[in-house]
Amino acid sequence: MTELYADLLITGGTVINETGRFAADVAVKDGLIVFVGHRDFAPRARRTMAAAGKFVIPGAIDVHTHIREPGMTQKEDWTTGTRAAAAGGVTTIFDMPNTDPPVWSMDALAIKQEAAARQAHVNYGLYGLLDERTLDILPQLAEAGIIGTKLFYGNTTGNLPAPNDGAVLEGFEILAELGLRCSIHAENSPMLFWRENRMKAAGRDDAFAHLAARADIVALESLNRSITLSEWTGARIHIVHESCMRSLPIIRDAKARGVPMTVETGPQYFLLSAEDLVGDKARIARLNPPIREGAQREPILNALLDGTIDMLGTDHAPHAMAEKQHASFWDNACGFPGVETSMRLMLTLVHQGRMTMEQYVRMACAAPAKAFGLYPRKGVIQPGADADIAVVDPAKEGVIRGAELHSTRSRFTPYEGMETVGLPVATIVRGRIVMEGGTVLDAPGWGRMERPQMPKPEPRNLATTTKAILRPNAQSW
Ligand SMILES: [Zn+2]
C-alpha cells in the first residue's frame, strides 16, 4: 500500500474563489490541487506552508503581456518577464505576438516556443498574429496550440501595419470556425497617424499631444468596427486595454445582443490621469491607448466591478530605460512594465474598500481562464484544478519602487513611490513554489505552454464567407 503523502499542504489560510471564501487547508500533489477542506481531514505532506491570516487564491492570469523575446531582449526576455510575473502572484501570462520576428509563421512560433520553454518560470499562452499573411496558417497555428490571435488595428511597438478590413473579415470567418478568440488593439491607425502628423507639422511636442492624437473617437470607431465584424462572423473577440468611458454603453449593448466578446482593462486606466502626467512622469506613462482624463477613471473602474469589462490585464510593456528618455515626447517608447505590480495595486483597492477579494479573483483569475478556454483547470481553487496558487498577505504594507522590479532591463514604473497594502507572499506554479517572501526562486523552464479548450465554435453567415464565394457560381441567397 502506498503512503498517501501530498507534495505540499497550505495550512490555516482563507481560500477565496470568485464565488466566496472559506477557511480550508489546500493540498497539492503532482501539480494538481488534490484536497481543499477542513484541516482535520487534510492529508500529510512532505512540506507545509503556514498561511494563517493569509488569503489563498488562484494565481493571476495576465492575458496581456509583452515579453519581447525574440528580437527585443534589450527590453525584456523570458527569464526576466516570467520572474516578474512570479514576483507578482501571476502564474500564467499570455504573450503578445509583436516580437521580432512577429508570430506570423510556424517558424516564428517555434522560435518563441523554444525561448519560452527554456526559461519560463510561470505558465504561458502564446498569441499568433492576425493579418494578411497569416490567414492561410491560422488552422496550423491553432493546431500548434496558440492561446488566441492578436489583431493590431492600432499602431504600437513593432510598427506592425493594421491589416485591411477585407483580410480582417476573412480572418474572423476562419477564426469563427476554429473557435479561437481574437484579442484586438482597438484604435484606428489611419486616424491616429493623421492627427499625429498634423500636430507634428504644427510643432506640438508636449505631454498631452499623444492623448490628443488618440482621442476617444479613435478608440470608439475601432471598437464599433470590431463588434460589427464579430457579430457578423461569430468570431470570438477580446477588446484589450479598454480605456474609454464612452465605450461602455457600446459594449453593454453589444453583449446584450449576444456579440461573443470579452473586454479587458488595466490598472493604469483607473489609477492614473492625464492631468497628473507631466515631464518624466509623462514619458514613463506614455502608452497606447493613452492614459485619459481623470474623469474617465471612475466609470472604467465601475465597469470592471459590474462586469461590463470582464477582466484585468496589464499590457506589461517593458522597454530599456534609454528608450524612455528621448527629448522629443513623440520619440519615447510606449508602454511600461505592469505584471509585477498589478496584484498589489488591486489588493490596495480591496484594503480601501473599493472592491472585494472575490471581485478581484473574478477579474484577474476566473474570467481570463473562462474567456480563453482554461477554466476550470485554472482560475479556481478546487480539487482537480492545476495547483496555480497565490498566497496573499492582505495587511502587508509596502512602497512600489522601480529599482526593485524583476524586469531588470525595465526598472521604471508610473507608480513610483506609491504606498500599497496587500502583497502576494508566495506564488505556486503547478505545485512548485516559484516565489516565497518576495524572493523569486530559480525555476527556468518550469512554466508550461497552455493550450485553450474553447467551447464549440458558432460561426455565422456561412453562405457569404470569403471561402464560400470562391466557389464558381456560388449563390449567397
Ligand atoms: Zn499590448
Among 136, 171, 165, 166, residue whose Cα is nearest residue 153: 165
For 183-188, what is the mean pLDDT? 97
Give residue 315 CA to ligand 1 midpoint distance, Å: 5
User: What mean pLDDT comes out for the span 284-296?
Assistant: 97
DSSP H helices in 64-159 = 78-87, 106-119, 138-144
Ligand 1 centroid to residue 43 C-alpha, Å:
43
56 Cα to the center of ligand 1, angstroms: 29
What cell numbers appear for 318 in the block?
517593458
CA of 317 to the centre of ligand 1 (A): 7
Does residue 473 lie within any of the structural domains? no
- What is the Å distance from ligand 1's center to 45 Cα? 41
User: 158 C-alpha to center of ligand 1: Å?
Assistant: 11
Q: What is the side-by-side strand order in the sheet with 5-11?
A: 32-37, 25-29, 5-11, 44-50
Residue 430 lies in a domain: yes
> What local confidence, expressed as pLDDT, does residue 420 receive?
98
Phi, psi (degrees; rounded to nearest 5) at 324: -110, 5
> Cα–Cα distance between 147 and 144 in angstroms, integer?
10
**% of the chain residues with pLDDT over 70:** 99
CATH number where 243 lies: 3.20.20.140
Ligand 1 center from residue 336 Cα (angstroms): 10
For residue 49, tell me if it sits in a domain.
no
Between the CA of residue 228 and those of 203, 254, 323, 327, 457, what are the distances in Å? 37, 9, 37, 41, 18
Distance 334 CA to ligand 1 centre (A): 9
Q: pLDDT by residue (tens digit) across 6-29?
A: 999 999 999 999 999 999 999 999
- Model confidence at 101: pLDDT above 50: yes
Taking the mean position of all CA atoms in its chain, how far away is CA 54? 25
Query: For residues 95 and 56, is the Cβ–Cβ distance under 8 A?
Result: no
Q: Between 475 and 129, name the one with better pLDDT.
A: 129
For 131, the domain range is: 56-440
Question: How far does the centroid of ligand 1 lie from the alpha carbon of residue 22, in Å?
Answer: 36
Percent of the chain at pLDDT above 90?
Answer: 95
Measured in Å, residue 190 CA sits from the centre of ligand 1 at 19
Q: Is the pLDDT of residue 473 over 90?
A: no
pLDDT value at 3 more than 90: no
Mean predicted confidence (pLDDT) in 179-191? 97
Give 88 Cα–ligand 1 centroid separation in angstroms.
18
Q: Does residue 240 belong to any structural domain of this protein?
A: yes
Supply the pLDDT for residue 476.
Answer: 60
Using the mean position of ligand 1's atoms as its centre, give its distance from the Cα of residue 66 in Å: 6
Compute the distance from residue 288 Cα to the ligand 1 centre, in Å.
Answer: 8
Expressed in angstroms and rounded, the spacing between residue 242 Cα and the centre of ligand 1 is 11
Q: Residue 1: its pLDDT value, please?
A: 47
Instruction: Give the model's pLDDT for residue 477.
Output: 56
CA of 8 to the centre of ligand 1 (A): 36
Distance 151 CA to ligand 1 centre (A): 11
pLDDT score recorded for residue 444: 97
Q: For residue 46, give the amino acid letter.
A: R
Tell me, in angstroms, the distance from the centre of ligand 1 to residue 62's CA.
11
Which residues are in the CB-under-5-Å shell of ion ligand 1?
315
Q: What is the Cα–Cα distance from 395 to 165, expressed in whole angstroms?
A: 50
In angstroms, what is the span from residue 127 Cα to ligand 1's centroid?
Answer: 12
CA of 436 to the centre of ligand 1 (A): 28
Let me know if residue 29 belongs to a domain.
no
Q: What is the DSSP string of 49-66?
A: EE-TT-EEEEPEEEEEE-
Interval 448-472: pLDDT, tens: 999 999 999 999 999 999 999 998 8
**184 CA distance to ligand 1 centroid (A)?**
10
The average pLDDT across 230-250 equals 98
How many angstroms is it from 383 CA to the middle of ligand 1?
34
What is residue 299's predicted lDDT score, i.e. its pLDDT? 98
* Residue 475 in domain: no
**pLDDT tens by residue, 335-373:** 999 999 999 999 999 999 999 999 999 999 999 999 999
Q: How far apart are the first and last CA of the chain?
A: 68
- Residue 252: exposure state from Cβ atoms within 10 A (0-12, 13-18, ≥19): middle
pLDDT tens-digit map of 80-91: 999 999 999 999
Give the Å distance between the CA of 393 and the centre of ligand 1: 29
User: 335 CA distance to ligand 1 centroid (A)?
Assistant: 8
Query: Ligand 1 center to residue 53 CA distance, Å?
Result: 36
Question: Is residue 447, in this structure, part of any structural domain at all?
Answer: no
Average pLDDT taken over every residue of the chain: 96
> How far does the centroid of ligand 1 lie from the alpha carbon of residue 64, in Å?
6
Domain count, the chain: 1
Distance 262 CA to ligand 1 centre (A): 16
Residue 156's pLDDT band (cuts 50, 70, 90): confident
* pLDDT of 2 strictly over 60: no
How far does the centroid of ligand 1 lie from the alpha carbon of residue 428, in Å?
26
Q: What DSSP letter does each residue of 173-203 carry, written as one string? A: HHHHHHT-EEEEE---HHHHHHHHHHHHHTT
Pairing, β 60-65 against β 419-429? unpaired
H-helix or E-strand spanning residue 12: none
Predicted local distance difference test score (pLDDT) of residue 474 = 72
Residue 265 covered by a domain: yes
Cα–ligand 1 centroid distance for 65 (angstroms): 6
pLDDT for the residue 443 = 96
